[in-house]
Structure 1
Amino acid sequence: MVNIRNLDSGSSVLAFFGAELRRLREAAGLTQKQLGEVIYCTGSLVGQIETARKPPTREFTERADAGLGAEGALLRLWPLVSRNSLPPWFREFAELEATATTICTFQSQLVHGLLQTEEYARAVFSSYRPQNLEQKVTARMERQRILQRADPPVLWLVLDEAVLRRPVGGAGVMYAQLARLLECLSHPLVHVQVLPTAVGEHPGLLGSFTVLTFDDTPDIAYSESYEAGQVIINPQAVKARSLRYDLLRATALSPQDSADLIADAMEDLHGQQSGPDRSTVA
């Protein structure tokens, strides 16, 4: 167990957050257990966060800030904690994504991170067994908050049909993920289209990519591979990807037909889970 008295608060963002939490808790005259009772969690969790062994969630941060009367001291640290949980090579794009007015993305393998459920995201990250799994899941869920702000971006997602058919996390997790996609279709600023397998060759065969547009700065494009991401600012290269995206959008099913195909995929998953020795996902 880490000795909190020897923890270097300058060693990481999580260590600094933990040190601040401990300072505020002790100033309030509370033990870890007592603070846990105030904010509806265990004293053990408080201790793990104070010693930087577990990252705080936004909910924990909000409750701790209010419970300790910190007047925003912990909440002001939350953006740093959240960004620190992202891979270093992804942080630049995440910051750009958070300020974009329109996000157009083609995904050939997975549901885009902005629309993933927590269970789906956990299954994706679990596939390569990272040491900080829960920290990565928390960061992904926090990243989705840009869709909940007062002026959310327009999100246009084109998905290869293969994404719907790949049961990431198992049938139950995938069923819930597809239900989330259908739910998102009712949002006026979220558009989902599916590129059916029957199309054959298409402009997205080279892989997934994203184009971001902004109010007062040039558009950018983004693509990634294993543990690496590339932000593209060259105007001609961005224009080429924008054209490729327009072609994909024109080739894909309409949003309504896409919704029908997503519903069909859900029915298939339901059938896979039916049987004498299986429970249904409905």
Structure 2
Amino acid sequence: MANIQKLDPCASPLDYYGSELRRLREANNLKQGQLGDIIFCTGSLIGQIETTKKVPTRDFSERVDAALGTDGVFSRLIGLVLRSQLPTWFQPYAEMESCASYISTYQAQLVYGLLQTGDYAQAVLATGMPNDLDNQVAARLERQRILERERPPLTWVVLDEAVLHRPIGGREVMRKQLQRLLDLAHHRWVRIQVLPFAAGEHASLDGSFTTMRFDDDPDVVYTEDIVSGHMTANPDTVREAARRYAHLQAAALSVEASAALIARVMEERYGDPARLEERAMA
């Protein structure tokens, strides 16, 4: 008789997902291999997810829902599962972010997480040499689903111009990332401004920060240090963050001029080398 691993569904979102997958699969009288055949994966993958050895994806969850007729159970669970794969210290921020009605952020080094492409996110997260890089990338991309809601948070991003020039992941990754920023320029709920080098000294030379506003709760300011993140609703800190952000917005290029700068940097720094050489010789 096969040794069936017992699961504690209360241990974690991933354990709960695995136990529900096993329970509902068995309720449909399907073996792991049979379910795998239906959703075009191996029975081994089904077993690994049921025993929490593998983290499911959103695509997998949607296919399981369709195969088992579970009315979106796994598609709803997957967000919680992927959020649980974020670093423990970051999970409270992700929870607050998902509830915010307005997000304003200044980023001095990197593109804001909600605006990152998968390849850019992978290059950034790989610098920490995690053992579960794919899961962390999936979790970061899952966060971005809040921008796809019927009424997403208004997200206002000020990027230091240095972010555009720092070649994270290489030429092609950066080109696609900057194109992503340009595409988001047409998003009704996203505003992107670039703080140009010409601004010189500015109100947040000491680093990046994010403020989140909620419908029924106090504003929260979030900052990070080298090992963790910190949130506070201290009124003095919130006021100081608002003051700094107002100065940053005033010093930054307009949304339209920012898009033009992003497009120019994308072509001049990350465009096709052959085309750039032809243009220079013309």
**TM-score scaled to structure 1, two decimals?**
0.90
AA aligned to 2:244 is R
Matched, 1:23 2:23: yes
Q: Whole-Å Cα distance in 2 between the matches of residues 144 and 77 of structure 1? A: 16
Q: Whole-Å Cα distance in 2 between the matches of residues 185 and 73 of structure 1? A: 34
Post-superposition Cα deviations, 1:158-186, rounded to whole Å, max 9, x if no partner, equal 00111111111111111101000000001
Q: Are 2:105 and 2:156, in contact at CA under 8 Å, matched by a contact in 1?
A: yes
Matched, 1:144 2:136: no
AA aligned to 1:98 is S
Alignment match, 1:88: 88
User: Which residues of 2 match residues 209-228 of structure 1 at below 5 A?
Assistant: 209-228=209-228
Q: Are 1:118 and 1:137, in contact at CA under 8 Å, matched by a contact in 2?
A: yes
**Identity between Structure 1 and Structure 2 (%):** 52
Q: CA deviation at 1:8?
A: 3.6
Alignment match, 1:120: 120
Decide whether aligned partners of structure 1 residues 37 and 188 sit closer, same or farther in structure 2, where only a CA change above 3 A counts: same
Q: Whole-Å Cα distance in 2 between the matches of residues 197 and 52 of structure 1? A: 48
Post-superposition Cα deviations, 1:88-109, rounded to whole Å, max 9, x if no partner, equal 2112221111111110000011
Q: CA deviation at 1:240?
A: 0.4
SS of 1:6's equivalent? Answer: coil
Q: Whole-Å Cα distance in 1 between the matches of residues 186 and 16 of structure 2? A: 41
AA aligned to 1:95 is E
Post-superposition Cα deviations, 1:98-142, rounded to whole Å, max 9, x if no partner, equal 111110000011100101111111111111210111111111111
Root-mean-square deviation (CA, aligned residues, Å) is 1.9
Matched, 1:97 2:93: no
Alignment match, 2:279: none
Alignment match, 1:278: none
Q: CA deviation at 1:85?
A: 1.2
User: Which residues of 2 match residues 125-204 of structure 1 at below 5 A?
Assistant: 125-204=125-204
Q: Whole-Å Cα distance in 2 between the matches of residues 100 and 54 of structure 1? A: 30
Q: Whole-Å Cα distance in 2 between the matches of residues 50 and 4 of structure 1? A: 14
Q: CA deviation at 1:26?
A: 2.6
**Structure 1: unaligned runs, 5 residues or longer:** 276-282
SS of 2:90's equivalent? Answer: helix
Decide whether aligned partners of structure 1 residues 4 and 87 sit closer, same or farther in structure 2, where only a CA change above 3 A counts: farther
Alignment match, 2:45: 45
Q: Are 1:171 and 1:273, in contact at CA under 8 Å, matched by a contact in 2?
A: no
Post-superposition Cα deviations, 1:218-262, rounded to whole Å, max 9, x if no partner, equal 211110122311111111111101110010011011111111111
Alignment match, 1:247: 247
**TM-score scaled to structure 2, two decimals?**
0.90
Alignment match, 1:5: 4
Q: Are 1:54 and 1:135, in contact at CA under 8 Å, matched by a contact in 2?
A: no
**Structure 2: unaligned runs, 5 residues or longer:** 276-282
Q: Whole-Å Cα distance in 1 between the matches of residues 175 and 18 of structure 2? A: 37
Q: Which stretch of structure 1 is more off in the superposition, 77-86 or 244-253?
A: 77-86
Q: Whole-Å Cα distance in 2 between the matches of residues 266 and 4 of structure 1? A: 56
Decide whether aligned partners of structure 1 residues 4 and 91 sit closer, same or farther in structure 2, where only a CA change above 3 A counts: farther
Q: Are 1:108 and 1:159, in contact at CA under 8 Å, matched by a contact in 2?
A: yes
Q: CA deviation at 1:272?
A: 6.5
Post-superposition Cα deviations, 1:193-225, rounded to whole Å, max 9, x if no partner, equal 011112221112110001111222221111012
Alignment match, 1:280: none
SS of 2:230's equivalent? Answer: strand
Decide whether aligned partners of structure 1 residues 73 and 105 sit closer, same or farther in structure 2, where only a CA change above 3 A counts: same
Q: Are 1:4 and 1:51, in contact at CA under 8 Å, matched by a contact in 2?
A: no
Decide whether aligned partners of structure 1 residues 235 and 4 sit closer, same or farther in structure 2, where only a CA change above 3 A counts: farther
